[in-house]
Structure 1
Amino acid sequence: MNDVVDLRLLSEVFITLFVIMDPPGTVPIFLGLTSTMTRQQRNRAARQAILVAFGVIVSFAVFGQQLLAYMHISLPALQASGGLLLLLVAMELLTGKMEEPEPSGNGNVNVALVPLGTPLLAGPGAIVATMVFVQATDGSTADWVAIGLGVLAVHLCLYLAMRFANVIHRVLGDSGVILVTRIAGLLLAAIAVQLVADAVRAFVLQG
């Protein structure tokens, strides 16, 4: 099985992106952004947001390495900056100070594209994390399959969370969503510290 897909890498990609993109945490934001929409419009918005987020993540996964090479940015530098960025996101999750956009009543504004698809779903944290995973692989087919399946699985979770947002919010309640968000922030902080530690170790070894 490991010849086809690296299960360890798959689990790392899925868990990291799941924590960063936080499907349960998107429920109240999605409901707020689509509060003036009908059920059919809300379902369409969920599909569009996922397609936009998936396209952005995949684009950076495929072309991110060429961009880094062109700008002469090393993997440890990317890991350190990514870790610091994720730590900031984690602090926002833990303190509950993440900015929530206001619902739009303007029918000419497609909130599924901006701000829902990007930057709320495919934000800097998810982009940097995906690029770090791609940079750290040896380019084997098993690694690419693992990253692809991990990204796809997280986006499937995001779609299901938004597709059944009303049900999830009713089951978890406001307190449940807040609890899940705080746990996600704690896990994300640990991931961020590990990224910075790995980057420092790499810099020391290079020196």
Structure 2
Amino acid sequence: MYTTTAITLLVIMDPPGQVPVFLSLVGRRSAEYRRKAAWQAPLVSLLVISLFAVGGRAILAYLHIGIPALQGAGGLLLLLVALQLLMGLGGSTAAQVSDDVNVALVPLGTPMLAGPGAIAAVIVAVSQVHGDVPGYTAIAAAILTVHAVVALALFFSTGIIRVLRVSGITLLAKIAGLLLAAIAVQLIATSVIGFAATA
């Protein structure tokens, strides 16, 4: 169970793929802010995923929310971030908005790391254990391992900023925005397919 859960979360959360988005969002901030964001984002993700691991099915059932709804909401949030990166990161207004928002919480912690895919994967993994304590322990260890890998990837990526400079970060923001937009559209499309299948 440990290996399966860890590999699934690593593929979904994609630590190397988070690096360009992380750099594009924090590249213009101070070194202290970048180091803080590098551990805050995985910590937020860990808290959210742990919450859903413990009571995910009950939370979704109580609120009458399905996985397709989570996917649609995550897709819309990512699309807004993607549009900001593609069109507004270089402008003064966008820079002011970014300064007022802790990007380690949104969009890095959630929905980039603790997104619909990771939440659904954890809920499914927990539902397969059926009260087995070693199984729960294995899932918890897998979640901690994956978040440690993510934290290391983000922490060491801060050194790349010295090489990229402002022009490199601007280019990276455009590329990250395009990739995020594609991920967002895919999430929304998957959400629509999920709703259609349950209709």
TM range (shorter): 0.5 to 0.7
2:123 corresponds in structure 1 to: 131
- Which aligned pairs between 1:166-205 and structure 2 lie closer than 5 A? 166=158
What letter matches 2:22 in structure 1?
Answer: F
- Which aligned pairs between 1:1-207 and structure 2 lie closer than 5 A? 9-67=1-59, 70=62, 99=82, 102=85, 103=89, 105-106=95-96, 107-166=99-158
Structure 2 distance, partners of 1:152, 1:59, is 13
What letter matches 2:34 in structure 1?
Answer: R
Q: Higher helix proportion, which one? A: 2
Structure 1 residues 69 and 111, CA gap change in structure 2 (3 angstroms):
closer
Structure 1 residues 120 and 72, CA gap change in structure 2 (3 angstroms):
closer
What do residues 3-30 of structure 1 show as CA deviations (whole Å, max 9, x unaligned)? Answer: xxxxxx0000000000000000001000
Which runs of 5 or more residues in structure 2 are unaligned?
A: 76-80, 164-171, 184-199
- TM-score w.r.t. the length of structure 1 is 0.62
- TM-score w.r.t. the length of structure 2 is 0.64
RMSD: 3.3
What letter matches 1:119 in structure 2?
Answer: P
What letter matches 2:20 in structure 1?
Answer: P
- Superposition deviation, residue 113 in structure 1: 0.6
Identical pairs, percent: 43
What letter matches 2:106 in structure 1?
Answer: V
- Superposition deviation, residue 100 in structure 1: 7.5
What letter matches 1:45 in structure 2?
Answer: A
Q: Is the 8 A contact 1:161 1:168 kept in 2?
A: no
What letter matches 1:31 in structure 2?
Answer: L
Structure 1 residues 137 and 165, CA gap change in structure 2 (3 angstroms):
same
Q: Is the 8 A contact 2:35 2:158 kept in 1?
A: no
Structure 1 distance, partners of 2:59, 2:30, is 41
Aligned residue-pair number: 150
- Superposition deviation, residue 166 in structure 1: 4.4
- Structure 1 segments of 4+ aligned residues over 4 angstroms from their partners: 68-73, 98-101, 166-170
